[in-house]
């Protein structure tokens, strides 16, 4: 039974790392589930602190992944149109992975902001200022997305490190 738990746990750890770059797969929670399965083996007994700490990291990284891109867009002067455009761009970008995952949100935010400035905010700025403001908001969205990915990847890699360390120490 221990071997099955280790194999399933390892698959969850790998899925968690892959999920850090794909928005439809919750990376850190999957990585934590892999570590939790390892805890249920007879040879490994992770401390309560370790489990609480890693689940807390997974939750915080997952929540921040949804907040930071929106915050980045708003901090860069973006509107709801840019934020929504970034989300749509991310979904469309999945079909053109791996490059689309990074380019999609940026182009989506840029297009969303341009649509906002040319339809809802027509008379406020000159055309060059509209493009400049849209580009700045798109860059904020992109940087927020990249921060979220790096944060999730760091948490999932930390959990993977704990998993591998415990397997090596307790089974070999």
Show me where the domains of the chain are located.
Answer: 2-171
Q: What is the pTM of this model?
A: 0.82
pLDDT at residue number 152: 96
Burial string for 24-39 (b: 16+ CB within 10 Å, else e) reads: eebbbbbbbbbbbbbb
pLDDT in tens, the chain (172 residues): 999 999 999 999 999 999 998 777 899 999 999 999 999 999 898 999 999 999 999 999 999 988 887 788 778 888 888 878 888 888 898 888 778 878 888 899 899 988 988 887 666 667 778 888 889 988 888 888 889 889 999 999 999 999 999 999 988 7
| Distance from C-alpha of 159 to C-alpha of 17, rounded to nearest angstrom | 10
pLDDT at residue number 37: 97
Is the distance from CB of 37 to CB of 11 less than 8 angstroms?
A: no
pLDDT at residue number 105: 83
């Amino acid at each position: 039974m221990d071997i099955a738990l280790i194999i399933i746990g390892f698959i969850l750890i790998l899925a968690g790392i892959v999920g850090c770059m794909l928005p439809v797969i919750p990376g850190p929670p999957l990585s934590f589930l892999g570590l939790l399965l390892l805890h249920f083996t007879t040879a490994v007994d992770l401390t309560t602190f370790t489990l609480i700490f890693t689940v807390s990291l997974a939750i915080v990284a997952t929540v921040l992944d949804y907040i930071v891109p929106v915050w980045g867009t708003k901090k860069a002067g973006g509107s709801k149109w840019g934020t929504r455009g970034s989300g749509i761009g991310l979904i469309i970008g999945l079909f053109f992975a791996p490059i689309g995952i990074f380019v999609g949100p940026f182009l989506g935010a840029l297009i969303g902001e341009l649509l906002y400035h040319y339809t809802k905010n027509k008379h406020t700025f000159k055309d060059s200022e509209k493009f400049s403001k849209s580009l700045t908001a798109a860059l904020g969205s992109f940087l927020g997305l990249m921060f979220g990915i790096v944060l999730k990847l760091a948490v999932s890699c930390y959990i993977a490190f704990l998993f591998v360390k415990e397997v090596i120490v307790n089974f070999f």
